[in-house]
Structure 1
Amino acid sequence: MPDLPDLPCPIAPFVPHRQGMCLLERLVALDDGFLAAEACPGPDDPFATPRGIPGWVGLEWLAQAVAAWAGVEAARRGEAPAVGFLVGSRRYACPAGHFALECRVRVEVALDFRADNGLAEFHGRVLDPAGEPLAEGRLQVFEPHRRGSRPAPDEAP
C-alpha cells in the first residue's frame, strides 16, 4: 500500500477535477469512513458573486470531498482517482443562502453505506471557522468502477 502524504496536504491529487474546477484546497483529516477538507473561496472563485458563493455550491464541495475520499482509496491501491457520479441529494440545506468570500470553510463527509453495485451514501456538512454548521445534507453517489464482478444483464453469456 503506497504511503500517503502527511496531513494537511493538497487535495488536487485525489480528485479528478481539473482546469480550476477543484474547489477544495486541502485535505485535513481522514479515516476509513470520514474525510475533512478545507476551502477559502475568494473573488476569483468560478462561482463568486457580489454576495459571496451561492449556497448550492456547498453541495459541490460535499461531492468533491466524497470524490477525494474515493481518490484516497484509489491512491492506496496505487491507482489514479476515477470519475464518479452524484446521483442525488437529500435534505441539503444552506440557511444563509451564501457563503462569505475569503472565509475558510471545513467540508466534512462520512460514509453511511456502500453497496456492491457501486452505489453509496454519505452525509456531509460545511462548517465555519468556529465549527458552526453552514450547510448540510446527504449525497447518493455512483462509482461505476466499483460495481460487482457479475456481468450486467445484457452482458450475460
Structure 2
Amino acid sequence: MSKEASFAIDPQKVAQLPHHAEYYIPHRKPMLLIDELVTVTEKGCISKVTITDQLPFMQAEGLPSWVGIEIMAQTIAMYGGIEQRLAGNEPKLGFLLGAKKFDMAQEFFTVGELLSVEIHLNFLNRQKIGMFDCKITTEKGVSTASLLVAQPDDTSSVLPM
C-alpha cells in the first residue's frame, strides 16, 4: 500500500501568477474549455467558464452537460499546472481515468451561461493517481462528480513521440 503523496499549494504563492487557463494546462483552443483561474485553496481551486457557441460539442440546445466531466478534468489539470509553475516547470500531461457519482443539474449549458468549477483533492498517491471531488455551479443548480486522474512523471510509454 502506498503512502499518500504530499500535494498542497500555498494560495499566497499563486497571487502573482497569471489567471488565464492556458498558462496552467497544455490544452489549446478549440479543446481548451476553461477560461481562467479564479482562486486557489490549499487542496483545490476554482475556475471560470463562460459558455460560447465556439466551444466544441455545441448543439442547438447548448453544450451537453456530459462535457462538464472534461471541464472538471481541465480544472484539475489547472491545479496540477499551478504546482508545476510554482516549481518553475511547464505544465505536464495528465489523464482522466474515470468518474463516479456523476450528477448533473441540467441537460445543457446555454450560451452566455457562467460556470464556476470547484475541485477538491481527496487523495493522491506516490504514483500521482488521485481522486478529486468536483462541482459546477450555475444559476440553474450544482452538478457534481468525483474524478480519478493520473499524472505520471513519464508519459512516453502512453504517448509515442
Taking structure 1 as the reference length, the TM-score comes to: 0.84
Structure 2 counterpart of 1:139: 147
Count of residues in correspondence between the two structures: 143
Deviation at 1:21, TM superposition (A): 1.1
CA–CA separation in structure 2 for the residues paired with 1:90 and 1:100? 24
- Secondary structure, aligned partner of 2:31: coil
Deviation at 1:47, TM superposition (A): 1.9
Structure 2 counterpart of 1:50: 60
Deviations 1:6-32 (A, max 9, x none): 488211110010132110001001022
- Secondary structure, aligned partner of 2:76: helix
Structure 2 counterpart of 1:112: 122
Q: 1:125 to 1:101 in 2, by over 3 A?
A: same
Kept after mapping to 1: 8 A contact 2:14/2:40: no
Runs of at least 5 residues in structure 1 that lack an aligned partner in the other structure: 147-157
CA–CA separation in structure 1 for the residues paired with 2:131 and 2:73? 11
Deviations 1:88-110 (A, max 9, x none): 11111114211121111101100
CA–CA separation in structure 1 for the residues paired with 2:90 and 2:31? 18
In structure 1, what residue type is equivalent to 2:36?
R
4+ residue runs of structure 1 moved beyond 2 angstroms? Answer: 3-8
Aligned partner (choices 81, 84, 104) of residue 94 of structure 1: 104
CA–CA separation in structure 2 for the residues paired with 1:51 and 1:8? 33
Does structure 1 residue 125 correspond to structure 2 residue 149? no
Larger Cα Rg: Structure 1 or Structure 2? 1
Taking structure 2 as the reference length, the TM-score comes to: 0.82
Kept after mapping to 1: 8 A contact 2:20/2:35: yes
CA–CA separation in structure 1 for the residues paired with 2:49 and 2:113? 8
